[in-house]
Structure 1
Amino acid sequence: MASKPLTIVIKLGTSSIVDENTHEPILSILTLIVETAAKLHRDGHNVVLVSSGAVGVGLRRMDIEERPKHLPRIQALAAVGQCRLMSLWDGLFSHLRLPVAQILLTRNDIADRTQYLNAQNTFAQLFDMGVIPIVNENDTLAVSEIKFGDNDTLSAITAAMVKADYLFLMTDVDCLYTANPRHNPDAKPIEVVTDISSLEADVSSAGSSLGTGGMSTKIVAAKLGTSAGVTTIITKSSKPGNVHEIVRYLQQMEQLDLGSEESSGSPDLPTPPPLHTRFIPSETPIQSRSFWLLHGLKPRGTLYIDHGAYSALQKKAGLLPAGVLGVDGHFGQQEAVRLVVVEKISPDALNGEFLHHGQEPKEVGRALVNYGSSEIIRIKGQRSTHIQSLLGYADSEYVALRENISFTQNNDSPRH
């Protein structure tokens, strides 16, 4: 039985590919990564690398010892380093006759739905052409407002965008442990995680002096990836060959499961793969548009809504102004906002404080709004028929259309 072609995203941190002290590229690991990607490609799989390291390589190129704190200087070093890094990747892959492509992203690049779909189409075309995309955050232009924050998050959003089967987060440990194995000899590996919210593990590992991500960012990335239906795996960055072995093992196990349904014999089990932590994807993954609404857009403010409005949204109705209790932040039409469910506003509250009646306000999702914050402040709590008289115009009876609202996954809400 032939293995089905997969789409595999491999995320590499700065510390995986650039020496923390000398800032020199770690050629031995880079070469192994290229060989691993080539093996996967030969097996018929699509491969995406999400590669940090531009600033680290820029430091080496400019003979600067420490990562500066001044943002324009960091961005300038990223511009210098990105050229060298891509030249390095291109040179290594060219030995195996594999073309590569550079894709630099910020949140702004995928905030527009059309651009997000264009990015998906570009990835699809590159796969068809047998090209390996190499993705990085566009550190040369990105500021905090449009940054993903770390490449773990970027890799999870990329994995969702390309509808990946596997997302590998390469790190300096084999897997997650119940405690820090460096200090606690009783620490046990966590090999499979079915429910991230109940995960009890040691996540104290911080990022390197060059990188930005620690173990906690990998947990966040695993939550994003699994919510989109992507099996997310943490494994050791110094042994890139693990990726190929783990993929082969999981494919063999899947084939055995399929074969056991047709056969009553007891098949031979494949050799266990290297140690890793595997996060099982959600059985009800968020669909592409909903994922984009939740994670592709940076919320510009918050709408506080009542339980009646929340119930109506769950029944596929849009958000009417009558259900909006309060507004926080400054935003315009067609910008993203958080949706937070509260009981009600205290009539004598001076700064919009909410009465929770023992219940904390709960963020339930995100929405693209039809009106800006100043307009919603004027129409909140009112009937839709009053919008014309309150604003002088009525672009829509809804503050947000249902198709432009997406719930976070831990809410019992319909998927669309």
Structure 2
Amino acid sequence: MASQRLTVVIKLGTSSIVDEKTHEPILSNLTLIVETASKLHRDGHNVVLVSSGAVGVGLRRMDVEERPNYLPRIQALAAVGQCRLMSLWDGLFSHLRLPVAQILLTRNDIADRTQYINAQNTFAQLFDMGVIPIVNENDTLAVSEIKFGDNDTLSAITAAMVKADYLFLMTDVDCLYTANPRNNPDARPIEVVTDISSLEADVSSAGSSLGTGGMSTKIVAAKLGTSAGVTTIITKSSKPGNIHEIVKYLQQAQQGASVGQETGDIDHSSHLPTPPPLHTRFIPSETPIQSRSFWLLHGLKPRGTIYIDHGAYTALQKKAGLLPAGVVGVEGHFGQQEAVRLIVVEKISPDSLNGEFLHHGQEPKEVGRALVNYGSSEIIRIKGHRSTQIQSLLGYADSEYVALRENISFIRNDESPRH
């Protein structure tokens, strides 16, 4: 049986790339990562690296001892470090005759749907050319408004964008544990997670002094990845070879199960290969969110909030668009075709002032995101009214809907956007 061509995304934190104290590149680890990516590539798989480390490498290049707090200085160090970081990757991969490509992203780069699709097409073309994309956040330009926050989140969004089969989140422990194994001898490894919302694990790891992530951000990334149908795996960053072994094991296990089904063999254990190195595997959703819905929820930063009543929420669930009659209030300043949060509240009256309804009835609940057809000032004027009144209220009517149903995406119970 021929092996399936997979797409594997590998996220590497700063601590996997540069020494926390000296800021020197950890060449031994980088070499192992390159060898692992090469093996996966040789097996016919697509490989993407999401690489942190630009600021850390910049600190070393400029002989700066500690990461500064002044944002422009951090961004300047990132600009210096990104050149050296890509030079390192390119040099190491060139020994194995593998070309690499640099992709720097901010939320602004994927906020436009056309740009998001262009990014997907670029990745696809790089895969066809046998190139390994190396992705990082564009720290030189990014400010808090357009940052992903950490590369764990960026890696999950990248994995969804390229429709990856596996997302590997490399960390300083081999897997999740029920408690901190460093000080609790009763800590047990958690090898498979089928329901992240009921996960009981120790996530106290705060990440390195150079990095921005920790174990909690990896759980968030796992939620994003699995919601998009990506098997997400946590394993030890100092043993990159684990990645190839785990992928090979999962492929063989899947093929063994298929053979068992074809032959009617109820006992699949005879077809299973030797267990791989210890890791935590998050099982993807059986009903993964579609690409456009994922983009609406996680690719865009909401510019405001629209409060809707329960009747409107029920209608949206039945695939209807959002009508002005169901809008209770508006918060923030936003324009047409910008993203907003949707929050369900109890409706008092069409003339309620913004915010009044927050103190009545049920607790407000964010249920989704939407791209709106009207700006905030326009929606304030038409909220609570019939669509037939939009023309008389505004002097024009671009649409009968505040937001079309195709531009609305609901949040699942186990999934919360980071922003």
Query: TM-score normalised to the size of structure 2?
Result: 0.95
> What SS class does the counterpart of residue 271 from structure 2 fall into?
coil
Asked if structure 2 preserves the Cα contact closer than 8 Å seen for 1:345 and 1:355, the reply is no
Report the 3-state secondary structure (helix = DSSP H, G, I; strand = E; otherwise coil) of the residue aligned with 1:325. Answer: strand
1:359 positional shift: 2.7
Counterpart contact for 1:9–1:166, Cα < 8 Å: yes
> Equivalent residue for 2:126?
126
Q: Is the 8 A contact 1:15 1:210 kept in 2?
A: yes
Distance 1:393-1:268 versus aligned 2 partners, 3 A rule: closer
Give the match's secondary structure for 1:144: coil
In structure 2, what is the Cα distance between the partners aligned to 1:242 and 1:412? 28
* Structure-2 change in CA distance of 1:276 and 1:384 (3 Å): same
What's the CA shift string for 1:206-259, capped at 9, x where partnerless? 02110000000000000000000000000000000000000000001000x444
Residues 51, 279 of structure 1: alpha-carbon distance in 2 compared, 3 angstrom cutoff: same
* Kept in 2: contact 1:50–1:151 (CA 8 A): yes
**Equivalent residues in 2 for 1:3-402, closer than 5 Å:** 3-255=3-255, 257-261=258-262, 267-345=270-348, 352-354=355-357, 359-402=362-405
Change (3 A) 1:175 1:260: same
CA distance in 2: counterparts of 1:264 and 1:195, whole angstroms: 25
Question: Structure 2 CA distance, aligned partners of 1:266 and 1:185?
Answer: 31
Q: Could you list the per-position Cα deviations for residues 99-156 of structure 1 after superposition, in whole angstroms to 9, with x for gaps in the alignment?
A: 0000000000000000000000000000000000000000000000000000000000
Q: Distance in 1 between matches of 2:22 and 2:215?
A: 24
Please say if residues 106 and 138 of structure 1, whose CA atoms lie closer than 8 Å, have aligned partners that are also in contact: yes
Change (3 A) 1:301 1:412: closer
Structure-2 change in CA distance of 1:235 and 1:415 (3 Å)? closer
Contact 1:364 1:411 in 2 (8 A): no
CA distance in 1 between counterparts of 2:361 and 2:13 reads 43
Could you list the structure 1 runs, at least 4 aligned residues long, displaced by more than 3 angstroms after superposition.
Answer: 257-266, 345-351, 355-358, 411-416
Q: What is the CA distance between 1:343 and its match in structure 2?
A: 1.2
- CA, structure 1 residues 138+264, in 2 after alignment: closer, same or farther (shift >3 Å)? closer
The CA deviation string for residues 7-55 of structure 1, in whole angstroms up to 9 with x for no partner, is: 0000000011110000000000000000000000000000000000000
When residues 263 and 105 of structure 1 are mapped into structure 2, their CA distance, relative to the original with a 3 A threshold, is: same
Call closer, same or farther: CA 1:265–1:76 in 2, change over 3 Å: closer
Residues 76 and 312 (structure 1), Cα distance of their counterparts in 2 relative to 1, 3 Å cut: same
CA contact (8 A) 1:49 1:135 kept: yes
Change (3 A) 1:392 1:349: closer
In the comparison of the two structures, how many residue pairs are matched?
415
* Aligned-partner SS, 1:122: helix
Residue 413 of structure 1, CA deviation: 15
* Aligned 8 A contact 2:358 2:364 in 1: no
State how far apart, in whole Å, the 1-side matches of 2:358 and 2:14 are.
46
Q: Is the 8 A contact 1:169 1:234 kept in 2?
A: yes
Deviations 1:340-372 (A, max 9, x none): 111124799766232566632111110000000
Q: Distance in 2 between matches of 1:258 and 1:96?
A: 35
Mapped contact 1:286–1:409 kept (Cα < 8 A): no
Report the secondary structure of 1:267's partner residue.
helix
How far apart, CA to CA, are the structure 1 residues paired with 2:68 and 2:186? 39
TM-score normalised to the size of structure 1?
0.96
Q: Structure 1: which 5+ residue stretches go unaligned? A: none
Structure 2 residue runs of 5 or longer lacking an equivalent are: none
Residues 394 and 411 of structure 1, relative CA distance in 2, 3 Å threshold: farther
